[in-house]
Amino acid sequence: MNYLKLSCLALLATSFGFADEAIVTSTIVLNPKTETPFIEYHNRMIVFSPFYQGYERIKTDDLYFGLQAWLIPAGSHHKMLGEVEFLGGYNFFYNGRDHLTPVVGVGLFTDYSIVKHSYYFWDDNGSTAYSHHHKNRVAYGTVGFLYDHEFNRLFNVGLNVKALAGSVVGPRRAETVHKTTVGFDVAIPLTFRFGKNRHWDFRLEPFDIYMYRPHDSNNYYGFRNSIGYRF
């Protein structure tokens, strides 16, 4: 009888041991610094967008650099805007799905809206009108961050925030009393990934750019749309 009791106890202990091992095995998770359930690539390039070109080095836990140039209508007054910008930083990767990239950079922002100044001259034939057009162009430095969260294999949401500081450049500089400009650039990129290995994506990026100078501030808003290829 004692032998039978001891056998039963040994069997129960062994069973609990296997149960504990199964529980431990089922709780193994991915290492967020080395593994991810999603497909990550090192580069993203914008294609099929003649008025929006760009390239980004997006390798996780590595140096970042990006160059973009775009020209789009924006705002409520049919303004045409353009920008060329270069950014450098570092791609931090957390939780197997969160990308955070502090950045610094330089850029050139242009408001191509027509600003007309009219001058009138009097001569023997009466008055003659002369019109003069110019662009609002600002060269700037920037600092901020780019953030992107991968909800699943198909959909990402991000938040890009940059502070801007620069000066008016070009023909308008001579006639602008307050040349120093400060502002911010905020964008919320919504990225939809597709294809067998998620090489391709479509990005819808609402943005708001605010430029401030005394007596001459402007707020620009709109959407940047792009098709990207990752490799």
At 34 the pLDDT is 54
pLDDT band at residue 174 under the 50/70/90 scheme? low
d(CA 63, CA 69): 21
Q: Averaged over 201-223, what is the pLDDT?
A: 93
Lowest mean pLDDT among 116-120, 137-141, 142-146: 116-120
| Closest C-alpha among 151, 110, 153, 116 to residue 132 | 116
Q: In angstroms, rounded to a whole number, what is the distance separating the alpha carbons of residues 216 and 194?
A: 43
Confidence label for 112 from pLDDT (cuts 50, 70 and 90): confident
Q: Is the pLDDT of residue 121 over 60?
A: no
Give the CA diameter of the chain. 133
pLDDT above 60 for 23? no
Separation of alpha carbons 167 and 108, rounded Å: 10
What whole-number distance in Å separates Cα of residue 43 and Cα of residue 6?
Answer: 64
> Which of 220, 227, 208, 207 minimizes the C-alpha distance to 81?
220
Structure tokens given for 179:
């040349």
pLDDT at 113: 78
Nearest one of 140, 142, 137 to 174, comparing CA atoms: 137
Contact 104, 90 (CB under 8 A): no
**pLDDT over 60 (residue 8):** no
Look at residue 117 and tell me whether its pLDDT is greater than 80. no
Mean pLDDT score, 165-174 = 78
pLDDT tens digits, one per residue of 61-100: 999 999 999 999 876 556 789 999 999 999 999 999 999 9
Mean pLDDT within 158-163: 98
Mean pLDDT of the chain: 81
- Burial per residue of 32-47, b for 16 or more beta-carbon CB atoms within 10 angstroms, e otherwise: eeeebeeeeeeebebe
DSSP result, 151-215: -SSSEEEEEEEEEEEEEE-SGGGGG-S--EEEEEEEE--EEEEESTTS-EEEEEEEEEEEEE-TT
- Domain limits of the chain? 31-230
CATH class of 31-230: mainly beta
> Which of the given ranges, 45-54, 67-76, 122-131, has the highest pLDDT on average?
45-54
**Is residue 129 very low, low, confident or very high in pLDDT (cuts 50, 70, 90)?**
low
